Amino acid sequence: MVVTAGFIGFEITWRADVFSGAPQAGSAANYGTLGISFRARKARSEDELFAALAALSCEVPIRATEPIVKERPEDRGGV
């Protein structure tokens, strides 16, 4: 989203568990929530922006997960 807003060179410069000790620290930890600082700069030209947009990769790694719909006992012949 940063690139589509016209920024390039996005970089996370710092990350930390800023929620430990907070009242909802357990909820944050369950989701792997971290605080970050980042930097980016405005593209100098449309050509530079378009080159950054063209270089974007939207590949999502495939990993094993729990099925969304779990098997019901009646699906296995049970009650």
Parse the chain into domains and list their residue ranges. Answer: 1-56
The 3-state DSSP class for residue 16 equals strand
Q: Return the pLDDT at 21.
A: 83
Is the model's pLDDT at 72 over the cut of 70? no
Mean pLDDT for 63-78 is: 59
Span 24-36, pLDDT tens digits: 778 778 888 888 9
Q: Which of 9-18, 47-56, 59-68 has the lowest mean pLDDT?
A: 59-68
H or E segment and range at residue 51? helix 46-54
Mean pLDDT of the chain: 79
Q: How far apart are CA 77 and CA 72, in angstroms?
A: 9
pTM: 0.51
28 alpha-carbon distance from chain centroid = 14
Q: Amino acid identity of 19?
A: F
